[in-house]
Structures are given as C-alpha cells and as structure tokens.
A and B are shown apart, each in its own frame.
Chain A
Amino acid sequence: MSASSSLRSFGTALRTLLVLTVILGILYPAAILLVGRAMPAAADGSLISDHGTVVGSSLIGQDFTGDTWFHPRPSAGKYDALNSGASNLAPTSTDLAKQISDLRAQVAKTENVDPAAVPADALTASASGLDPDISPEYARLQSARVAAARHLPEETVARLVRKHTEQPLLGFIGTPTVNVLELNLALEHAAGNEG
C-alpha cells in the first residue's frame, strides 16, 4: 500500500468518525436531553422534597441510624452516592460469614427479636451500595422499635409500612419492597400530625 493511499484511508476514516461522532455523541444525547425536559422528575433523578427542600432521591438509598428511623440494608459504600459499589466478598469468605452472623446478632438485639427472624436483606450489602429498598419482613421487624421511640401507636407505624409496601408489577416482576426514605418521610409527617 502506497503512502498516498494510506493517507487517503486515514482521511476517510477520520472524517467519517467525526461526522458519526457529531450524530451519535452530540445530537443523540442532546435529543434525549430534550425529551427529558418533558419529564423532568424522572430525568433529574426522582428527587423528593420536604417543605420545599430536597431531601434526597427516591431511587437512592440513604443511611439511617438510631431508634427513631427505619434502617436500610448494609452498604459497602456507606450510602455515598458518588461511590457506588458492592462488598465483592466471596461467599466462601470467612470474613463475610462472620460479618453476617455478627450483624444477625446485632439486628436481633436492636429489634429485640429472635436472631432466626432477621431476613437476609438486613444482613447483606447490595450491589450498588445505594439500594433504596428493604423487604416488607425487615420493615415489619423494625416497626415496634420505631413506634416505641417515636411514641406512636404501633398500629400507625404498621399502617405506614403497609402503605409503602410496593408489590411486584403484574404480580411477578420483581420482589415486594419498601422504600426506606419514603417510609421515613411519611413517619416524620405522621409524628408531626400526632404531636
């Protein structure tokens, strides 16, 4: 292949790449950005406001500690939304096994229940470290503690858990979940009303 034909091939490749970059790398994402303006809530991250201040995203889990809140799943990144990721520990890891059994004892003590009653999602870190959900079982387990700490009737808290339990779409797509941030926000409002 001669030098001039190499140069021509290089030129063709470069020009074609640049044109396609404009179409696929600028026009395409820009078009989707425009469509996003028609559904800003979704496009901007499903943000939740409380009395006019943004308190988080319904899709991104937050850490909650203390007796007055429902607790989320363990997180490898401590719910840092700029540091998503999993523990990546192998199931054969003795560290992981110990971590899980320690956590089981700890959760059982916090919730004052039998260790065998603690569900798996309360003991395992999610893949993103930002899982916004817990299982309805884990939410019910925490109800009594939260109700006592907030001086609310247990039935009020149980009703909130039921209200925020999301069933699988069409009955089979996904698993039943409770969004922790939404539940805690509802709890805060319920406390305000009762108080």
Chain B
Amino acid sequence: MAALIPGILQILLVFAALAISYRPLGDYMARVFTTTSHWRAERAIYRLGGINPDAEQGWRSYLRSLLWFTLVSLLLLYLIVRTQAFLPFSGGHTGLTPDQAWNTAVSFVTNTNWQSYSGEAAVGVTVQAVGLAVQNFLSAAVGLAVAVALFRGLARTGTAQLGNFWTDLVRGSVRILLPLSTVFAIVLLAGGVIQNLADPVTVHTLGGAVQHIPGGTVASQEAIKNLGTNGGGYFNANAAHPFENPSAWTNLLQVYLMLLIPVALTRTFGVMIGSKKHGYAILSAMGILYIGSLVGVVASELVNASGALHAAGAALEGKELRFGVIGSDLFAVSTTMTSTGATDAAHSSFTPLGGGLLVLNMVLGEISPGGVGSGMYGMLMIAILSVFIAGLMVGRTPEYLGKKIGPSQMKLASLAILVMPATVLIGTAIAFSLPSVRASLSTTGPHGLTELLYAFVSAANNNGSAFAGLSANTPVLNVMLGLVMLIGRFLPIILVLALASSFAEQRRVPDTAGTLPTHRPLFIGVMAGVALLVSALTFLPALALGPIAEALG
C-alpha cells in the first residue's frame, strides 16, 4: 500500500495539468474552427488542393468530401505498405501481405491503430513516418471535423450548412495537431525518446551477448500517436518500450497527451454553442465514468492480487518497473477510455477484474473522454438519449440546447449508439463460429472468449489496443477486423452528420419553465447512468461469459 500515496499524487498531477490547459486550448480550438481568416500556409494548401475554403457545405457534401478523402487515404496507405520493399529507408523490410496491408491501412485511417504487424519486425522509417504517422494526424483531424460540424449544427438555426470539410481538416492538422506535436515531440526527445534514421546498432554486451539496438523516427510519432488518440506503437511493445516511453515522467506526459484534446474539446463545445455550462456538464459526465473506472482498476490491481500475481507478491507481470503498478493502471484506463489503444503494460496480464474493467471502458463507446472528436460526438449521442429518457419520465417534450429531439433525431442518435454493440456482438459471434479463428486463441474457456471479444470491441471502437494472446495476423481476422473498424468508424459519422444537419435546420425553441435543464448535476448523473445502462444491457451477457466468469472462477 506504500505505493498508493505517490500513485494518487501522480494522478492528481495529470488532472491539474489538464485543468490548466482546459480553457486556453478549448478557447483556441473554438477560434480555429470559427475564424474567417486563413493563414498564408493554409492558402497555399487550398490552392494546391483546388479547394475553396470559404464555401459552406451541407451535410451530404461535407460527408462526400470526408469519404473521398478517406478512400484516397486508404488507397495511398495500402500502396505504401504493399510496396515497402521499393521505398527508401525501409531497412530491408518487405511489403505486407494483401490482407495485412488492408487491415493496417483501414486501421490507421479509422484512427484505430490496431496492429496485426509487429513494429520493429515488419516496417521501416518510411512506412512509419510517411504512411502511418500521417494518418495519425489526419484521422484525428477528421474526428475533430465531425465533432465541430455537430457543434455547428447545434449552434446554428435555419440553415443546412455545416461548414467546410477541407477547411476543418486543414486547420485541425496545421493549427492544432502539428504545433502541439512539435512541442511535445521535442519534450519527449529530451526525455530519451529516440529520433534517428540509423539502422539497428550492433553491440557486444557486458555479459558477452550480442544485442541489436533499433533506431527510428520515434519521438515525432510518439507525440501525435498520443495527441491524436491513435495508439499505434513504433515498436511491438508500444509505450512499454523504453525507446517510446523511457521514464515515469514521460509516462505521465503521454497520459496527459491522450486526454488533452478530448477534454479541452468540451470547452470548445461550450464556447461554440454559447453555453459553457453545457461543456462543463459533458466533461463532468465523462469525469464520473473515468474516475469510477480508474478507482476500480487501481483497487483490483493493488488488492485483488489473485492466482499467479499472488504468487509473485504484486501485479508486476507485464508491467515496467519504472512506471509502477499505479502508473501502468493510469495509462491503461486512459488508453481505453480515450480511443488511443497504446499500451504501457500487458493488458492480458491485468487482474481479471482490472482487465474486465478495461474492456468495459471500451464498450462504454469511448466517450469518457473518448477519441479526438469521436468521444465528443459519442457523448453528445448519449446526452440526446438521456434527454429523451428523462423527458419520457417527466412527461416533457425532449429538447437539447433549444433543439427539439423528434422521432427522426431519436432514430439517428439511437442508430449511432447501436452501431458499435451490434458490430461487436455479431462480429464476435461470426468469428467464433469459424474453426480457423478458434485456432487463433491462446487458450480456451473464459480467457479465450475475452481475447476475441476484446479484439472486436477494440476494432469497432477504433481503440486498437490488444488483449494479446490472440494470434490476430490471419487472413480471416485481418479482413474481418478491417471491416469492423470501417463500420465502427464511418456509420456513426454518417449518422452524426445527418443529425447535425437536422439540428441546423431547426429554429431554436425558447427556454420555458417547462424546459428540462441539461447542465445540472442531476442531468450529469443521468448521462453517466444512461451510458452505463446502454453498455450493460448490450454487453452483460458477453462479459458474463468472459471476464466475469474468469474473475469468479
């Protein structure tokens, strides 16, 4: 228990840092997405791209641009990873197989960063920096764009216009993600994260062995990997690798970076809709879920050291000593509560209850605070569902921010929420019925089910962390999980943009004495409760057969 106090202080330090950056970053992002002036560099990009940055788009046009951009991104990334053998700085690595290339391209374009390849064994600098890291920026910028389009839908009245996708994409990349990444890449570099183009250095160790120490453009990638809630590790061990995460303070910094934009985006929301209180309310609901999970994971890791971990005396299997148990727990909760999916510890070696909570974090739909942009629009879907349920209970017409929640809005929001559970459960069921997939599991019984369920939850939520043990690099799983990632990313985006448009077209209903307040503690509690209820109702049977059975067994 001696570790508890320092652990709590580390957590408080991260929270304090988030509180400090909340207003400046949130306000800055609101300005970025509302200003009418363009930077000179942006004008050059628009000119080269053939874009009119001031043309407003309706939701169909906005979506069409987004989907074209995604398609082209997919094709280019597929091409890059397939032709790796012919690219410079590839360190002798060959191209990925078609199924693995498909899986990898989808994975990075959808902000998932599920990795069926092993970083140091399969890809060189060019694929990492020019292929994968570019999508770390752009998939995050796409998420931001969708969230901002929804904010505009809620803020505007009597219009079909949601902004311009290209402008949002470029500004999110150039004004937000690039400057932040540059600053934090340099900080990480100073902390020992490597950045070089060298081939592995061969050393003769003191103990008389030979070791090959890898190189790579890790610092530049590590910063955006966390800031963009991407999570794809440069190395197989991801953020547990000492070259990605050399010390306890870089570990805390990475946790901060994962949470930074999703948290500050609630402020951006508040500013853009003209009600900061509603931004705080959304953040509070996210915070309740996050802290609840963190307490559960830390407690189970410190107290419930069962089985093998009891034999060892502490839950250190699959953990780095420099981070300690609580530092690893904080990272694990943050990576599964955002859509990052980076890991600084082996999730499959967590205590059954702790590991189960990590799955639960993802089945919540990654809304607390969720991925860059995607967490925000996911939580707003929960807010709309909460208004509807609370409205039914008190017999009031459901409204959110002066916008009526009618049957068509409810259908869109409900569908957006249901895409993920449906994809996960149907996908897992199909996969389980295939003998070749069952052969990919490391073990039978509840832990085997958890491995497969975790993979589908991780893919559909665009998280990308793996409950390793599952041999995921098989043609069937590569193709299936690729499809799941695409559905889990783009069906909700389509529904959210349609919803944004239906809000933008409405006039604002003035507040009356009968309006349900949607920023008070009571409603915050309802939002957190509804989020839990939805995931519990959809996932409890599957969780009962996996992690819960394992914890009780």
Spell out A's residues near B (CB within 8 Å). Answer: 1, 8-17, 19-21, 23-26, 28-29, 31-33, 35-36, 39, 42-47, 50, 53-57, 59-66, 69, 73, 79-93, 96-97, 99-101, 104, 119-121, 123-135, 168-169, 171-175, 177, 181, 184-185, 188
- The answer to whether A88 and B186 touch across the interface, beta carbons within 8 angstroms, is no
Cβ of B292 < 8 Å from any Cβ of A? Answer: no
CB-defined contacts of B240 to chain A, threshold 8 Å: 84, 86, 126-128
Chain A residue nearest in CB terms to B130: A25
Closest CB in chain A relative to B536 CB, distance in Å: 24
A-B contact pairs, 18 of them (CB 8 A): A1-B64, A17-B69, A32-B186, A32-B220, A35-B185, A36-B195, A53-B204, A54-B201, A62-B207, A63-B209, A64-B206, A84-B236, A120-B312, A123-B311, A131-B322, A132-B242, A171-B6, A172-B5
Question: 8 Å CB contacts to A: which residues of B281-335?
Answer: 306-309, 311-324, 327-328
Cβ of B50 < 8 Å from any Cβ of A? Answer: yes
- Cα–Cα distance between A80 and B237 once the two chains are bound (Å): 12
- The answer to whether A60 and B213 touch across the interface, beta carbons within 8 angstroms, is yes
- The answer to whether B213 and A45 touch across the interface, beta carbons within 8 angstroms, is yes
- The answer to whether A97 and B307 touch across the interface, beta carbons within 8 angstroms, is yes
CB-defined contacts of A12 to chain B, threshold 8 Å: 49-51, 65, 68, 166
- The answer to whether B213 and A35 touch across the interface, beta carbons within 8 angstroms, is no
From the candidates A55, A101, A104, name the one contacting B203 in the complex (CB within 8 A): A55
CB-defined contacts of A87 to chain B, threshold 8 Å: 317-318, 346, 349
Given contacts A43-B219, A89-B317, A90-B349, contact A21 B10 (CB under 8 A): no
- Cα–Cα distance between A136 and B237 once the two chains are bound (Å): 25
- The answer to whether B213 and A81 touch across the interface, beta carbons within 8 angstroms, is yes
- The answer to whether B212 and A81 touch across the interface, beta carbons within 8 angstroms, is yes
CB-defined contacts of A80 to chain B, threshold 8 Å: 211-212
CB-defined contacts of A39 to chain B, threshold 8 Å: 189-190
| 15 extra A-B contacts, CB within 8 A, seeds A43-B219, A172-B6 | A24-B134, A29-B195, A33-B197, A42-B192, A43-B189, A69-B206, A83-B120, A88-B468, A90-B443, A91-B309, A120-B312, A126-B318, A128-B242, A130-B241, A173-B252
CB-defined contacts of A129 to chain B, threshold 8 Å: 237
Residue of B313, B328, B350 with highest tally of chain A CB at under 10 A? B313
Chain B residue nearest in CB terms to A55: B206
- Cα–Cα distance between A55 and B312 once the two chains are bound (Å): 32
CB-defined contacts of B439 to chain A, threshold 8 Å: none
- The answer to whether B45 and A97 touch across the interface, beta carbons within 8 angstroms, is no
- The answer to whether B321 and A16 touch across the interface, beta carbons within 8 angstroms, is no
Closest CB in chain A relative to B342 CB, distance in Å: 12
CB-defined contacts of A181 to chain B, threshold 8 Å: 206
Question: 8 Å CB contacts to A: which residues of B188-234?
Answer: 189-198, 200-201, 203-207, 209, 211-215, 217, 219-221
Chain A residue nearest in CB terms to B131: A25
From the candidates A21, A47, A172, name the one contacting B134 in the complex (CB within 8 A): A21
CB-defined contacts of A126 to chain B, threshold 8 Å: 240, 318-321
Cβ of B73 < 8 Å from any Cβ of A? Answer: yes
Cβ of B235 < 8 Å from any Cβ of A? Answer: yes
Closest CB in chain B relative to A13 CB, distance in Å: 4
Question: 8 Å CB contacts to A: which residues of B14-59?
Answer: 45, 48-51
- The answer to whether B201 and A47 touch across the interface, beta carbons within 8 angstroms, is yes
Given contacts A59-B242, A82-B214, A90-B349, contact A32 B185 (CB under 8 A): yes
From the candidates B45, B120, B328, name the one contacting A16 in the complex (CB within 8 A): B45
Cβ of B273 < 8 Å from any Cβ of A? Answer: no
Stretch at the interface among B170-178, B374-382, B409-417, B496-504: B170-178
Cβ of B473 < 8 Å from any Cβ of A? Answer: no
- The answer to whether A59 and B237 touch across the interface, beta carbons within 8 angstroms, is no
CB-defined contacts of B351 to chain A, threshold 8 Å: 91
- The answer to whether A88 and B69 touch across the interface, beta carbons within 8 angstroms, is no
- The answer to whether A46 and B192 touch across the interface, beta carbons within 8 angstroms, is yes
Given contacts A24-B134, A168-B6, contact A63 B207 (CB under 8 A): yes
Number of interface residues of B (CB under 8 A): 116
Residue of A16, A56, A90, A121 with highest tally of chain B CB at under 10 A? A90
Chain B residue nearest in CB terms to A134: B321
CB-defined contacts of B349 to chain A, threshold 8 Å: 86-91
- The answer to whether A121 and B316 touch across the interface, beta carbons within 8 angstroms, is yes
- The answer to whether A123 and B313 touch across the interface, beta carbons within 8 angstroms, is yes
Cβ of B429 < 8 Å from any Cβ of A? Answer: no
Residue of B64, B71, B308, B317 with highest tally of chain A CB at under 10 A? B317
CB-defined contacts of B242 to chain A, threshold 8 Å: 57, 59-61, 128, 130-132
The 4 A-B residue pairs with the shortest CB-CB distance, nearest first, are: A174-B248, A127-B240, A84-B237, A86-B346
Cβ of B397 < 8 Å from any Cβ of A? Answer: no
CB-defined contacts of A61 to chain B, threshold 8 Å: 242
- Cα–Cα distance between A184 and B319 once the two chains are bound (Å): 23
From the candidates A50, A63, A91, A128, name the one contacting B317 in the complex (CB within 8 A): A91
CB-defined contacts of B9 to chain A, threshold 8 Å: 172
CB-defined contacts of B550 to chain A, threshold 8 Å: 90, 92
From the candidates B194, B320, B343, name the one contacting A44 in the complex (CB within 8 A): B194
- The answer to whether A69 and B207 touch across the interface, beta carbons within 8 angstroms, is yes
Closest CB in chain B relative to A122 CB, distance in Å: 9
Given contacts A123-B312, A127-B344, contact A25 B317 (CB under 8 A): no
Given contacts A9-B68, A32-B217, contact A62 B131 (CB under 8 A): no
- The answer to whether A96 and B308 touch across the interface, beta carbons within 8 angstroms, is yes
Residue of B64, B192, B314, B443 with highest tally of chain A CB at under 10 A? B192
Given contacts A17-B69, A92-B553, A172-B9, contact A127 B173 (CB under 8 A): no
Q: Give a binary string over B418-443; 1 marks a CB under 8 Å from any A CB, 0 the rest.
A: 00000000000000000000000011
Given contacts A12-B51, A82-B121, contact A56 B211 (CB under 8 A): yes
